[in-house]
Amino acid sequence: MPVAANLLAFLAGAAVSLSAAYLLVTRLERIGEWLGLSEGLLGVLAALAADGPEITAAVTALATHQNQVGAGVVIGSNVFNLAALLGLGAVVAGFIALHRRVILLGGAVGVWVAVACLVTVLGVIPAAAGLAVVLAALIPYVIVLGASRARLARMPLPPGWREWLAAAVSEEEAELSEVIHPPHGRGKDVALAAAALVVVVAASVTMERAATTLGTHFGIPDIIIGGVVLAAVTSLPNSVAAVYLAARGRGAAMLSTTLNSNALNVTAGLLLPAAIVGLGPPSGESGLIAVWYVALTVIALAFAYRDSGMSRASGVLIIGAYVVFLGAVLTVAHSAEPGLGATIVPLVIVVACSGAGLARRRRRPR
């Protein structure tokens, strides 16, 4: 297929996939409301639907044994989400207030999933074990989000823990209620959701195949195609929605949305298919992106917890860290034998600057 045809297929696939994903999100929210799901579960359902393009693109790449592209789409989109949803959202809003319990509840799961992703990509544990580790945290989290206060009160936990969980879930639902107001669903919404899902899958497969073909033609490394190009393109709808909501002072749900989206990306887009078809030998490039994913997750959560929200300064730092991340990936991708400095030094600088920022605020008098 000529280059022009591949380029057209990529652009058309991206446009159709992202448009259909938006329709899928709205219809699944209506169906969830119809079924009486909690705001927390509606948020998870919406995040899963919005992740349709990146999950499908990643699964397609892994199924054709293009492991770097598949891993890059998932992990790269997670890094992009942190910069675009949290970082850019905070810059636009000026400040996004968050509940600390929500930060701890979602953050604990988010860090757990990021670390499990890292050790799996590095080959420390097989993909099936990585999937089991992620599900060990994700399944209880989803159960807690969907539980009523009465059910939470009956959980076999110490009383203090039950009260804390009930308060955290209530605060998370309060944040999500700012952005999720779906009308009551009907039977036609099920049909539309099914049709939208088929379109998302078909268009995303087309987009991934065209992008990979173009990358091969122009000699672009797989990690750039997956971890930068496809990762950013497939994450654009979430980013646009985050900026739109943040500009109107309704960005409190962005932390939960980002962490849920990232966790579902890793689970459905990387570890589940990898457990079936394999992840291949460990890749230094994929490992680099996974290390940045863990680091930026921890940094974002640390600033969010310290400030009980995301400030504009924190947002600028996260966006700046993403720019450094892009530089590191481009350097490694175009170096025949990248030295340790090209992979580690930029990350160390970002972590050191973040630590200095956290420590400086702590020394200020209250």
Helix (H, G, I), strand (E, B) or coil at 83: helix
The mean pLDDT of 170-199, rounded to a whole number, is 77
Which segment of 92-106, 206-220, 284-298, 351-365 scores lowest on mean pLDDT?
351-365
Question: 209: exposed, middle or buried (C-beta count within 10 Å: 0-12, 13-18, 19+)?
Answer: buried
- CA distances to 95, 294, 303 from 355, in Å: 20, 15, 10
pLDDT confidence tier of residue 364, bands split at 50, 70 and 90: very low
DSSP bridge pairs for 96: 310
* pLDDT at position 297: 96
Residue 156 per-residue DSSP state: S
% of the chain exceeding 90 in pLDDT: 37
Q: What pTM, to 2 d.p., does this model score?
A: 0.88
* 276-291 mean pLDDT: 88
pLDDT value at 257 more than 80: yes
Pairwise CA distance, residues 331 & 295, whole Å: 19
- Segments in 248-311 forming alpha helices (H): 254-264, 272-277, 284-307
d(CA 173, CA 43): 9
Provide the pLDDT confidence category of residue 68 given band limits of 50, 70 and 90: confident
Contact 33, 42 (CB under 8 A): yes
- Rounded CA gap, 190 and 176, in Å? 23
Q: What letters, b where the CB count within 10 A reaches 16 and e where it falls short, cover 226-243?
A: bbbbbbbbbbebbbebbb
54 backbone dihedrals φ, ψ, rounded to 5°: -70, -35
- Could you list the residue range(s) of the whole structural domain that residue 304 is in? 3-362
Lowest pLDDT segment from 11-15, 241-245, 281-285, 302-306: 241-245
- Predicted local confidence at residue 76, as pLDDT: 93
Residue 339 pLDDT greater than 50, yes or no: no
Q: Which amino acid makes up residue 363?
A: R
Report pLDDT for 1.
56
d(CA 336, CA 285): 12
CATH number, domain containing residue 105: 1.20.1420.30
CA distance 361 to 366: 10
The alpha carbon of residue 93 and the mean position of all alpha carbons in its chain are separated, in whole angstroms, by 20
Q: How far apart are CA 20 and CA 349, in angstroms?
A: 40
Rounded CA-CA distance 354/299 in Å is 7
Residue 354: pLDDT above 50? Answer: yes
pLDDT of residue 338: 53
Q: Average pLDDT in the 332-346 region?
A: 64
Cβ(114)–Cβ(276) below 8 Å: no
Question: What's the number of domains the chain is made of?
Answer: 1
The amino acid that residue 304 corresponds to is: A
> Of the given ranges (19-33, 101-115, 218-232, 257-271), which has the lowest mean pLDDT?
19-33
Whether 337 shows a pLDDT value over 80: the answer reads no
Residues 6 or more apart whose Cβ sits within 8 Å of residue 152:
144, 162, 165, 166, 169
Q: Residue 362: its pLDDT value, please?
A: 47
In Å, how far are 49, 86, 201, 339, 366 from 259, measured between CA atoms?
14, 10, 23, 32, 30
Q: Which residue type occupies 302?
A: A
Stretch 2-15: mean pLDDT, rounded? 88
Q: Bigger pLDDT: 92 or 241?
A: 92
Alpha-carbon distance 94 to 91, whole Å? 5
Query: Which pLDDT score is estimated for 356?
Result: 85
pLDDT at residue 343, as a whole number: 62
Distance CA 259, CA 114 (A): 10
